[in-house]
Structure 1
Amino acid sequence: MKKLYFGYINTFRGLSPEIWWLALITLINRAGTMVIPFLSLYLTTDLNLSLGQVGWVMSAFGLGSVCGSWLGGKLTDKIGYYKVMVRSLLGTGILFIGLQFLHTFASISFGIFLVMLVADMFRPAMFVALSAYSKAENKTRSVTLIRLAINLGFSAGPAIGGIIIVTMSYAGLFWIDGISCILATILLMNVLHPKKAKTQDDIVNTNPESAYKDKSYFIFLAAMTMFGIVFLQYFSTMPIYYKEIHHLSELDIGILLGLNGAFIFLLEMPLIKWLESTRYSKPALMIIGAILVGISFLVLNITPWMGILVIGMLFMTVGEMITFPFSNAFAMERAKKGNQGEYMALYSIAFSIAHIFGHNAGMHMADALGFENTWYIMSLLAVICMAFLWLLIRYMKKDEATN
């Protein structure tokens, strides 16, 4: 047990203090965004929107995310990651508090769009900051630590969120979301100011290549969009499936979603450290992750037994643990040859596009075709994701052979 403990601790060695601060800021911010997993339930139960309307609201969510990611990338290359992160966090906090006062379909759609526009400016800036504060050999583990912080917050957030809904109603979630973003801003301004922080990988590229001319990168982005569409069902369509088909309460759903974060907290860093030592390339490891996420939907159709929900969540979690850190690291590696903000913005936009189509398509398919058929379709999309990643491997080998 002692050997296992020290082995786990050793996987965190060598990361810079700035990465740890960035992880803590992310933890505070993510723990507060507990309204996101409950958004589809809030829209259907408190605002009485139909599944179709919820799908369109979630599309507004994704469209705001696309615009925010693009704008964040542009501003990061222009004014720097620090200013973008501060303004994004503070603005998000204020907007989250205001979101609770919107009650019509049109106003909530616009409000969600605006929140995500400001919130997702943070993502490309954070990735560039992460790259700057981390040594080249530690980048995948640095990404994993940030994800660990995200999921540690996410494991506590839904469980706490479920309790808040039961005791205070949904309004309490918006206040906590907003306040947590403001607290994260204050911490960021005190510990990660450029004059205080030590840059470990200051990439200077006098002749940067445009990300829009990188064909391999666009194949990768297509794969990540497909993966995002499938993965995001767990945060919109899946909670409704849990409630309507398996009759789980909001607290039960929060605990089940919290298992995802708990598994990641315990297993992701050792798993990534071990996978880094294997002979598999990053795209090959992403294929394995996509396979597991696809299986997580298939198993739900096997049996009505309640325990299958935990098994499905476990498959999805392991697939997520593999795909996201290595896709992040792959994107940061490609970004070294061009404008970093532009590259990381496109990476964020891939998932933002998944937000636009994934939630909406999932809601409409569940409404028209039923959950069982929807899960089969999601498994098929996971296969398409694998095909894109296989194509990426082939294209990169061909590209290397000609250069």
Structure 2
Amino acid sequence: MTVPEGARRQGFAVMRFAADAGFTAGPPLGALLIAHFSYAVLFVVDGVGTLVFAAYAARVLPARGAGRAAAGEPGGGPGVFASLRRRPTVVALLAAVLVTDLVYRQQYVTLPVDLGRNGLDTGFYGWLLAVNGGLILLLELPVTLALRGRRPLRIVGSGVLLVGAGYGVLALGVGAGTAVAMMALLTAGEILYKTTATAYVAESAPAHAQGRFQSLYSGVSVSGVVLAGPLGGALYEVAPGALWPVCAALAGLAGALLLWAGRGAAPVAGRARAGRSPAASAESAG
């Protein structure tokens, strides 16, 4: 990792801010290009921009993480699964995020269907997503800075509980008010759990397995892209009224698991300042 251990939450928050800003600005800019030129021009501009960034990144990014290179750490070590067995809190986090992402991404698959079923049109759904993006752009960086010294698993667990609370609101009835309240709670949960969970995995990984830990977390954290549609859709087709209570219950269980797993863990940044390695800190936290 190029970012020092004590600043990784902030680093991941900045990265998510940039990604969300691009997600927000990209569609209208693309529509503008299509309206004035064509789809072909859009794809050419997109491809050229990607190649330019790839060349720039290859030139400026270090071949090895700055912290690891400076410390002269070796590249060998136990395999990723052996390392995970020594870090049970990371395993608990991965399991909880797997469940949470399945629930979280229902906002993209079954939520618009249920909104339509209850008389809320596509325009309302678009504004609902705008609430999500706008709140993240405004709040994620300051919240991450404010909580940087707090226990990470408590933050992640609290965020996951907020995701469950959001779907719990929908279980009371689907309407404009409950949908806005759901999105506000869901966004608050996302702000708390996503950046902190990503940083916790990075902090906990041994130096020789940083990339593999991050790849594993990335796969788990987007698992809902694959699972949310078929599983949520199947449940909605059989029992539409059960979907939101089940989502709330699953996220509640995942949040409770994380709060239990992190009950004795000290803040990672604090341990790093005390001179302990991320790997040793994760093991003691378990």
Alignment TM class, shorter chain as reference: 0.7 to 0.9
Which of 185, 199, 206 aligns to 2:75? It is 206
Which one-letter code corresponds to 2:66 in the other structure?
Answer: Q
Following the alignment from structure 2 to structure 1, what is the Cα–Cα distance between the partners of residues 238 and 170?
A: 19
Q: Quick check: 1:276 aligned with 2:145?
A: no
Aligned partners of 2:6 and 2:128: how far apart in 1? 35
Cα RMSD for the two superposed structures: 3.1
Contact 1:151 1:260 in 2 (8 A): no
CA gap of 1:392–1:145, structure 2 versus 1, over 3 A, is same
Alpha carbons of structure 1 residues 205 and 238: separation in structure 2 relative to 1, 3 Å: farther
- Structure 2 equivalent of residue 240 of structure 1: 113
Check whether the contact 2:151–2:265 (CA below 8 A) recurs between aligned residues: no
Rounded Cα–Cα distance in structure 1 between residues aligned with 2:108 and 2:158: 22
**Which amino acid is 1:188 matched to?**
F
Give every structure 1 segment of 4 or more consecutive aligned residues whose post-TM-superposition deviation is greater than 6 Å: 158-161, 395-398
TM-score in terms of structure 1 length: 0.57
The residue that corresponds to 2:91 in the other structure is 218
Q: Distance in 2 between matches of 1:401 and 1:267?
A: 29
What letter is aligned with 1:139? R
Aligned residue in 1 for 2:172:
302
CA contact (8 A) 1:155 1:257 kept: no
Aligned equivalent of 1:366: 236
The structure 2 residue matched to 1:266, chosen from 122, 138, 150, is 138
- 1:118 corresponds to: none
Secondary structure (helix, strand or coil) at the match of 2:160 reads helix
Asked if 1 retains the 8 angstrom alpha-carbon contact of 2:118 and 2:175, the reply is no
Tell me the alpha carbon deviations over residues 239-298 of structure 1, each in whole angstroms, 9 at most, x when there is no partner.
22223323312x432232122111111111001100113xx3111111110111001111
Separation (CA, whole Å) in 1 of partners of 2:214 and 2:46: 22
Q: What TM-score, normalized to structure 2?
A: 0.78
SS class of match (1:193): helix
- Equivalent position SS for 1:208: coil
Q: 2:255 aligns with which of 383, 386, 391?
A: 386
Secondary structure in 2 matching 1:339: helix
- Pick one of 117, 124, 128 that aligns with 1:256: 128
Give ranges in structure 1 of 5+ residues lacking alignment.
1-130
Name the counterpart of 2:53: 188
Paired residues of 1:223 and 1:389 also in contact (CA < 8 A): yes
Matched with 1:292 is 162
1:234, 1:257 → 2: CA distance? 9
Residues 175 and 339 of structure 1: is their aligned pair in 2 closer, same or farther, counting only changes over 3 Å? Answer: farther
In the aligned structure 1, how far is the partner of 2:259 from the partner of 2:203? 19
Using a 3 Å threshold, how does the CA distance of structure 1 residues 149 and 401 change in structure 2: closer, same or farther? closer
Is contact 2:100–2:254 with CA below 8 Å preserved after alignment?
A: yes
SS at match of 1:192: helix
Give the distance between the partners of 2:285 and 2:68, measured in 1 at CA.
30
CA deviation string 1:138-190 (max 9, x = no partner): 211110011112222333456778x79xx98xx96x995x5575244223234
Q: Which amino acid aligns with 1:233?
A: Q
Whole-angstrom CA distance in 1 between matches of 2:106 and 2:121:
17
Partner of residue 119, structure 1: none
Map of 1:43 onto structure 2: none
Judging changes above 3 Å, is the alpha-carbon distance between structure 1 residues 353 and 189 closer, same or farther for their aligned structure 2 residues? closer
1:150 aligns with 19
Mapped contact 2:120–2:176 kept (Cα < 8 A): no
> Is the 2:128–2:180 contact (alpha carbons within 8 Å) kept by the matching residues of 1?
yes
Q: Quick one: which of 372, 377, 385 aligns to 2:246?
A: 377
- Residues 179-211 of structure 1: per-residue CA shift (max 9 Å, x gap): 5752442232342124x3456334543333322
Aligned-partner Cα distance in 1 for 2:127–2:96: 30
Letter in 2 for 1:226: V
